[in-house]
Structure 1
Amino acid sequence: MISKLIPAVMLGTAFLTGCAAPNLDNSAGRRVVYQDVSSPSATVAGVGVESQDVVSMTDKMVRDILSNPQIAGRATAPRVIVDSEYFSNDSSSRINKNSITDRLRVELNRASNGRLVFVARHYGNMVEKEREAKRSGQADRGTIRSTKAQAGGDFRLGGRITSMDAASTSSGNVSRYHQITFELIDLEYGTIVWSGMYEFKKEARDDILYR
């Protein structure tokens, strides 16, 4: 009985070895390898929004916004709010929207060099607590403005992530098209002063699990 089991075990081992990814070293104790966030992974990739897509789309939006004289060419730098509150994900991809809006805000702030002023609306509670502490004597007064209001914005980011999926029943291939729109809204008139769009389509034999 044992002699009959040995060939089966050897065959199973050979099958598993043959199915393993040839370039993937998953041996115990293997050191972590850093990868370029602007390049796709050689071993883990799917049809969703990934790091290289975030880097590429935000870089494109930064260049486009800063080249618009209505926004970045004003004599007085406009106040801009860039966060994920009005940036919706209506796609079938799972993604943390903050990874897009945070990178866009940071890169815009760095590259604008004072041409844009960013309102930290997502830190509003922190600012309010400190203002209350200074005015009540719980903290040193420091710099206190005469008005109780925080800075208002001239423009605010809005946008949407959408997708269209397709799957082949014969080949098992999965395809996904993403369309990601970015818009800056005038907070007095409600008009759109700038729009940008990023789109891409991916196809894979099997999709991966995004977390």
Structure 2
Amino acid sequence: MNLNLDRWSVSLSYAVVAGLLAGCVSGVQNPRGVSVTEMKADERGFVAGTGVESQDLVRVADKMARGIVGVPQVTRAQGTPRVVLDHVVNETRFPINKDIFLTRIRAQLNSQAAGKVVFLARDRMATLERERDLKRSGQVTSGADPNVVEFKGADFFLTGKLSSLTTRSSKGVSDYILYTFQLIDARTSDIIWEGFEEIKKQGLEDAVYR
């Protein structure tokens, strides 16, 4: 009887060890409870670092959009000013999608300040030119004379830059990021407006940004 119990115990031990090894190899750990939490974009989550987060994007874009609609050259313009987005320069150590700031600013102005500024789809020029050529060749119909150049020129360019300072020590890491955006006169190259926001964060560990 004791011999059978000993054999059963040994078999059970092998099974437990095998299960543990299999778990270690797979690296999968099933979390208990809710594994994903939906949050607002302007909330600071429990997964965060010292770099650019969604709440920073919302904060910066909101401030820049409010600044643009208050520019005298925009509010007092003869007709609706046309704006082209120019690429944002990222001088920080974080590999982020930098142009998402301009996308957020444009979307906010188009949805909340429609008619005050018009954005030109310069990033779609290849598609627009192809459509124009199809109309000119008669392959597709046209509601207007396709030989007339109707692509609008820009009155202003909206661009920006992300700059940063980083400090590291045995106690952690500190990142200061300066967000600057400019509205530039396309005819004179004058900077008619500039807005900025600065955010500093400290933490014990770095997060991975993609």
Runs of 5+ unmatched residues, structure 1: 1-5, 7-12, 14-24
Deviation at 1:124, TM superposition (A): 1.1
CA 1:178–1:130: 2 relative to 1, 3 Å: same
Structure 2 unpaired stretches of 5+: 1-12, 14-19, 21-28
- Residues 51 and 144 of structure 1, relative CA distance in 2, 3 Å threshold: farther
Match of 2:72 in 1: 69
Residues 1:157 and 2:158 aligned together:
yes
Provide the rounded CA distance (Å) in 2 between the counterparts of 1:75 and 1:46: 45
Determine the C-alpha separation between the residues in 1 that align with 2:74 and 2:30: 49
Higher mean C-alpha deviation, range 201-210 or range 25-34 = 25-34
- Structure 1 stretch 187-196 or stretch 29-38: which is displaced more? 29-38
Residue 37 of structure 2 corresponds to which residue in structure 1? 33
> Contact conserved, 1:77 with 1:114, CA < 8 A, in 2?
yes
Matched, 1:201 2:200: yes
- Alignment of 1:48 with 2:51, yes or no, is yes
Aligned to 2:83, the other structure's residue is in SS state strand
Question: 1:82 deviation in Å?
Answer: 2.2
Helix, strand or coil for the counterpart of 1:140? coil
Distance 2:30 2:86 in 1: 38
The correspondence of residues 9-20 of structure 1 with structure 2, limited to 5 A, is none
Partner amino acid for 1:136?
A: S
**Counterpart AA for 2:42:** S
Corresponding letter in the other structure for 2:202: E
What's the TM-score, normalizing by structure 1?
A: 0.80
1:96 is displaced (CA, Å) by 0.2
Aligned to 2:65, the other structure's residue is in SS state helix
**Structure 1 residues 106 and 30, CA, compared in 2 at 3 Å: closer, same or farther?**
same
The verdict on how the C-alpha distance between 1:210 and 1:72 changes in structure 2, with shifts beyond 3 A counting, is same
TM-score (norm 2): 0.81
C-alpha displacement at 1:48, in angstroms? 0.6
> After superposition, what is the alpha-carbon deviation per residue over 1:166-192, rounded to whole angstroms, capped at 9, x for unaligned?
0112x2x11000001100110110110
TM-aligned CA deviation for residue 31 of structure 1: 5.3
- CA deviation profile, 1:141-169 (whole Å, cap 9, x unmatched): 13345533521100001221110000112
| 2:190 alignment counterpart | 191
Structure 2 match to 1:143: 144
For residue 56 of structure 1, give the secondary structure of its aligned residue in structure 2. helix
Alignment of 1:85-124 (within 5 A): 87-124=88-125
Q: Tell me the percent identity.
A: 38
SS for the counterpart of 2:108 is helix
Equivalent pair of 1:175/1:201 in contact (CA under 8 Å): yes
Question: 100-109 or 141-150, which moves further after superposition?
Answer: 141-150
AA aligned opposite 1:126: T
Find the counterpart in structure 1 of residue 4 from structure 2. Answer: none
In 2 relative to 1, CA 71–82 (structure 1 residues): closer, same or farther, beyond 3 Å? Answer: same
Q: What is the root-mean-square deviation in Å for CA atoms of aligned residues?
A: 2.6
**Distance in 1 of aligned mates of 2:168 and 2:201:** 12
Distance in 2, matches of 1:197 and 1:26, equals: 44
